[in-house]
Amino acid sequence: MSHFKQLESFVSVAMLGSLSAAARAEGVAPAMIGRRMDALESRLGIKLLTRSTRRIALTSEGEILFEEAQRILRELKETESRISQGSAEASGHLRISAPAGFGRRHVAPLLPEFVALHPQVTVTLDLSDRLVDLIEERYDCAIRIGDLADSQNIGTRLADNRRVIVATPAYLERHGRPQTPDDLLRHNCLSFDGSGNQSKGWLLRHKGRVSSIRVKGNLACSDGSSLHEWTLAGCGLSWRSLWEVHDDIRDGRLVTVLDEYAAPPNGIFALTPERRHLPLRVKSFIDLLKERYSGFTHWGEKPRT
């Protein structure tokens, strides 16, 4: 039997003056109210009520409990009300993890707008290429790019991640424009690879299927921003996400090549520990990302060159 239910029934009996009146108010049989009162007195080891044929009165201990019980139940109701209101208005602290490059360009700039829309929310953004454990490290949301291998988290697809091969006009003028994926073997290809062996290759639709093209070059790096700068400096070709190089293509600093061989896009996802009972602050943040990343975006389609 619930201790809170006993307490609620006790307050009802004390206010209404009889078991039958309390039973009618709660929609139960008077015998049920009587059992709750007996259980409450037995649990506390004191007499709370004195019963006559006409009315139930409180003992001195019952008077003290009545005052305290009213306060406890009132505070509980107020707490439930605040929680319920919080479900209608985003509130609380939001912890987000995002890849450094993508987060710097496409997550961080949205957060001032987000907190302006939801003034009861505070945000911490962790920019790191490390794959965080959402549950163990208590993150509300993580932005991930690529195929999802972590099945214990729930992924919401925000946008396609399209990838293109780019170089500066000056580099292509000096070395020529590759016409097929095989031509990449004759070019200096800058790779995102911390080990230096560039073994993963670039994914292209080659000879009727998506293949990993083993490229070669004199520069490799585990930092996407540095690789971007090398590409802009004319050091070679690089395979980059459109969200990173869109502005450079639009403004003519970079040119795409081998567009007809582009592999299908992978995804940009928002990961959460669970789908059920998602706090409104998390849902509102994901909804904002989906809205801003939909339609024509920095990575949604390749700008014309």
Report DSSP letters for 102-151, one per residue.
HHHHHTGGGHHHHHHH-TTEEEEEEE-SS---TTTTT-SEEEEES----T
Give the sign of the dihedral formed by CA 213, CA 218, CA 222, CA 226.
Answer: negative
Where would I find the beta strands (DSSP E) of the chain?
49-51, 56-58, 92-98, 121-127, 141-145, 154-161, 163-167, 189-192, 202-206, 209-213, 220-221, 237-241, 255-257, 266-272
- CA 174-175-176 angle, 5° bins: 105
pLDDT tens digits, one per residue of 159-191 = 989 999 999 999 999 999 999 999 999 999 999
**What mean pLDDT is reported for the chain?**
87
Tell which residue, 226, 180, 186, 184, has the closest CA to residue 201: 184
Tell which residue, 228, 258, 236, 262, has the closest CA to residue 175: 236
Global pTM value? 0.66
CA distance 254 to 269: 27
User: Mutual orientation of helices 60-88 and 3-16 as an angle, nearest 10°?
Assistant: 120
Other CB atoms within 10 Å distance of the CB of residue 145 = 19
Q: In this structure, which amino acid lies at residue 261? A: Y
Angstrom distances, CA of residue 53 to CA of 17, 18, 19, 28, 56: 12, 10, 11, 21, 8
- Return the pLDDT at 300: 52
Q: Provide, rounded to the nearest whole percent, the portion of the chain with pLDDT above 90.
A: 57
pLDDT tens digits, one per residue of 15-39 = 888 899 899 988 999 999 999 999 9
- Return the pLDDT at 3: 84
Token pair 């083993």 is at which residue? Answer: 214
Q: Is 19 exposed, middle or buried (0-12, 13-18, 19+ CB in 10 A)?
A: buried
- Per the model's pLDDT, the better-predicted residue between 79 and 229 turns out to be 229
Contact yes or no for 143/231 (Cβ under 8 A):
no
- Per the model's pLDDT, the better-predicted residue between 298 and 189 turns out to be 189
